[in-house]
């Protein structure tokens, strides 16, 4: 471990934190070089505990001791730690968001679909979510409320986007997830059927049953589908799933934000429904 004080905001060692876009961090031309940025002390702690390969750490110089006390494993790692003043960090990153703690790590190895589904009893499937905040919030609820894994449609927002990582409180490193193969959704629905999953779409349609209907919780393996923030689930998914379910509403409200609706569904069918 080496500790270096940053003297100039233009220091190229800060590029990964301040000047590279999310697309550049993903390094799509060379996935082996892809980087994920962790923001907040808790997220860095989770990343280290889950074995991510850290490349560097950037911390408000006032918080260095707290960092080393909270994540003592850093002391035995060959990872450079850069310190900067509060004003420097505020000027280049926005200190009120991350509270002065950053780490850059090699992007974790993608999991295969079979790896996520093997042994899982409850999974969530995300189709077309574009808001990375919603993705991060959904991961956090899923990890807390008994979901065993998450499957994303090929064009779903990236869970390892730095804001998604922060909102998830690092649970994107804890909960197994994979991107479904093409053709979507036929390939995934076929795989789920072969593995004995009962598939349920959270959607408003004529055959939908309330989320607390006993016919849903009784299945040993359940896959819950959640659609995009704008138009919901595609017709192909709605036509291919076994059931649809709704969360009963009051006062004329017809739906909840996907981060909220997923938390309700996870509590009912993955946490309480398995107790």
- Is the domain of 264 the same as that of 133? yes
- Is the domain of 119 the same as that of 99? no
- What is the β-pairing status of strands 149-152 and 35-39? unpaired
- Is the domain of 121 the same as that of 144? yes
Domain boundary among 69, 90, 106: 106
Angle at 149 between CA 146 and CA 155, to 5 degrees: 135
Distance between CA atoms of residues 8 and 114, nearest Å? 47
- Is the domain of 102 the same as that of 123? no
Domain boundary among 61, 91, 106: 106
- Is the domain of 153 the same as that of 220? yes
- Is the domain of 64 the same as that of 159? no
Domain boundary among 58, 76, 106: 106
Helical residues (DSSP H) of 118-207, grouped into ranges: 132-144, 162-167, 186-194
CATH number for the domain that contains residue 86: 3.30.1330.30
pLDDT at 88: 82
pLDDT at 22: 78
Domain that residue 30 falls in: 2-106
Q: What's the predicted TM-score (pTM) here? A: 0.92
- Is the domain of 94 the same as that of 147? no
pLDDT at 192: 98
- Is the domain of 153 the same as that of 193? yes
Please report, in tens digits, the pLDDT of each residue of the chain (275 residues total). Answer: 799 999 888 888 888 888 777 777 887 667 778 999 999 999 999 999 999 999 999 999 999 999 999 999 999 899 999 999 888 887 766 545 457 899 999 999 999 999 999 999 999 999 999 999 999 999 999 999 999 999 999 999 999 999 999 999 999 999 999 999 999 999 999 999 999 999 999 998 888 999 999 999 889 999 999 999 888 999 999 999 999 999 988 887 877 899 999 999 999 999 875 55
Angle at 43 between CA 58 and CA 104, to 5 degrees: 40
- Is the domain of 149 the same as that of 218? yes
CATH number for the domain that contains residue 205: 3.40.1280.10
pLDDT at 204: 86
- Omega within 30 of 0 (cis) for the link into 47: no
Sheet holding 35-39, edge to edge: 2-5, 80-84, 54-60, 101-106, 35-39
Strand stretches in 23-176, DSSP E: 35-39, 54-60, 80-84, 101-106, 122-126, 149-152
pLDDT at 92: 65
- Is the domain of 51 the same as that of 149? no
**Number of domains into which the chain is organized:** 2
pLDDT at 273: 52
- Is the domain of 163 the same as that of 266? yes
- Quote the DSSP letter at residue 249: -
pLDDT at 152: 98
- Is the domain of 270 the same as that of 168? yes
């Amino acid at each position: 471990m080496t500790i270096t004080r940053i003297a100039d905001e233009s220091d190229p060692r800060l590029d990964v934190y301040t000047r590279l876009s999310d697309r550049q961090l993903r390094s799509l031309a060379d996935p082996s070089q892809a980087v994920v940025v962790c923001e907040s002390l808790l997220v860095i702690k989770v990343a280290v505990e889950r074995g991510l390969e850290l490349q560097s750490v950037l911390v408000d110089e006032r918080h260095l001791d707290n960092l080393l006390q909270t994540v003592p494993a850093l002391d035995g790692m060959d990872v450079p730690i850069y310190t900067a003043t509060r004003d420097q960090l505020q000027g280049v990153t926005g200190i009120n968001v991350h509270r002065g703690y950053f780490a850059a790590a090699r992007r974790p190895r993608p999991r295969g679909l079979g790896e996520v589904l093997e042994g899982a009893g409850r999974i969530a499937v995300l189709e077309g979510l574009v808001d990375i905040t919603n993705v991060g919030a959904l991961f956090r609820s899923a990890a807390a409320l008994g979901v065993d894994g998450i499957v994303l449609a090929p064009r779903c927002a990236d869970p390892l986007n730095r804001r998604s990582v922060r909102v998830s409180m690092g649970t994107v490193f804890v909960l197994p997830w994979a991107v479904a193969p093409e053709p979507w959704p036929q390939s995934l629905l076929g795989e789920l059927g072969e593995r004995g999953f009962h598939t349920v779409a959270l959607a408003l349609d004529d055959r939908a049953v309330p989320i607390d209907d006993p016919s849903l919780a009784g299945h040993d393996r359940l896959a819950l589908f959640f659609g995009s923030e704008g138009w919901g689930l595609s017709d192909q998914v709605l036509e291919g799933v076994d059931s649809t379910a709704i969360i009963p509403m009051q006062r004329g409200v017809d739906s909840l934000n996907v981060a909220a609706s997923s938390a309700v569904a996870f509590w009912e069918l993955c946490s309480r429904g398995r107790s």
